[in-house]
Amino acid sequence: MTDRDLKDANRLTGRAARYARVGAAVGRVGARAVTGRVLGSRSDRAEMAVNLKNALGGLKGPLMKVAQLLATIPDVLPPEYATELAKLQVNAPSMGWPFVRRRMAGELGADWQKQFTSFDRQASAAASLGQVHRATTPDGVERACKLQYPDMQSAVEADLRQLKVLFSLYRRYDRAIDPSRVYEEISERLREELDYRREVRHQRLYRSILAPQSRVNVPAVIDELSSDRLITMDWVDGVPLMSMTEADAGSRNEIAMSMFLAWYEPFYGYGVIHGDPHPGNYKVRPDMGIHLLDFGCIRIFPPHFVTGVIDLYHALGNDDRDLAVHAYETWGFTGLSEEVIDTLNMWAAFVYAPLLENRPRIIQDEGSRYGTRVASKVHARLRELGGVTVPREFVFMDRAALGLGSIFLHLKAEVNWHRVFHSLIDDYREEDLARRQERALASVGLGGGGPSASPQNATGRQTPP
């Protein structure tokens, strides 16, 4: 048997084992749904949601990461599920030193330790797809070595297969939202996260885009110490965001400003967004700027999609129904009824509210409960109207908006979001964005290079800023 044959056999074995573990966990929870017993009362759904969270929490790996993501997307899962899955924390056990040593030798060669004067045996962070080790190179500079766990391809494919099962269970009793495009989007992005070569290009893209922005730092990648499953970059020091929630108001507001610009300067300037605003993906600097980390999940949008986001803002501010319809149609809506437009505008008015008011305010004046009530009302109305398909672009755009909004609430930040937003869009021209995007992607080898560099048109419901 050749090395390639052995590798393929090991991958198939690993995938089969993963199917068995994940399938058993999901199957135990899904058995009651198949018999129809959980589709009746809210208490039944709540119990199933708790069981599902416990099953996934024991698995770690990609499916747990997906579950966390789904908990942030309104209406894709019932509220009982979202509440429980939001409690999941990515805290995978790290690989032991003998395993790390073999993995590093596989990526950099048998003499890999000569590339470092020090290499921490204990991981400084461990997540669903890999872990990070602190090291020092012979030039005396501290580095972060991000090492992917073995056979993640098998884990991802097995978990995506079970994600289909979870979606089908939900669709059995609620057809207001069709998650098929959500599944397609999650699948592509999760597979991309396994491609560390692509992640390096993403990181270079962001480092270039945000170079003029003094509030945000993107660590530099060390090419000669990176490979298909290893990314070595500059180590950055900073404090965890959640440790700043009791800081003085001025500091909390400055952190919120830094984060808003880190996410939305790339979007409105280049049609690119960081799809994972998890608190672990940034560190706060002494000047209240941030270090932005982890570029596996990056979404690149066609310029017309960004134009639609801005058009809808102006439509809501000017009560221009025709422009709102044009924005929805830009994203792929067809055959919009007056009732569907009203329902979409209800959700849009809530999401855009912080941008429409020219005053300092927290991101949600009435807190997250108000958002839950609006989402529930919109969901019920869409069900009455026959349902709607969630667009692929919605997934990570909405995740960014909701994830950042949650963090801003934790910070209790009071910012004039209207002014910050207008500083990004007042000179907007779609053709200018298109040119900037094309040049930026080409400069890092992403032009036409893959799914996120060649995104499809949106089809489905409104996507927030």
* This prediction's pTM: 0.81
1-34 CB burial, b ≥16 within 10 A, e <16: eeeeeeeeeeeeebbeebbebbeebbeebbebbe
* CB burial of residue 217 (10 Å; 0-12, 13-18, 19+): buried
Domain that holds residue 70: 1-170
Reported as a single tens digit per residue, the pLDDT across 74-108 is: 455 566 666 666 555 545 567 889 999 999 999 99
Residues 178, 163, single domain; the answer is no
pLDDT score, position 52: 61
pLDDT score, position 176: 55
Residues 339, 383, single domain; the answer is yes
pLDDT-derived band at 253 (thresholds 50, 70, 90) equals very high
DSSP 361: B
Residues 432, 327, single domain; the answer is yes
Of 147-156, 172-181, 200-209, 255-264, the poorest mean pLDDT is in 172-181
Residues 250, 144, single domain; the answer is no
Residues 137, 178, single domain; the answer is no
Residues 123, 30, single domain; the answer is yes
Residue 224 lies inside a defined structural domain of this protein: no
Question: Taking all residues of the chain, what is their mean pLDDT, rounded to a whole number?
Answer: 80
Backbone φ, ψ for residue 16 (5° rounding): -60, -40
Domain count, the chain: 2
Residue 386 lies inside a defined structural domain of this protein: yes
pLDDT-derived band at 256 (thresholds 50, 70, 90) equals very high
Give 114-173 as a DSSP string: GG-SEE-SS-SEE-SSEEEEEEE-TTS-EEEEEEEPTTHHHHHHHHHHHHHHHHHHHHTT
294-313 CB burial, b ≥16 within 10 A, e <16: bbbbbbbbbbbbbbbbbbbb
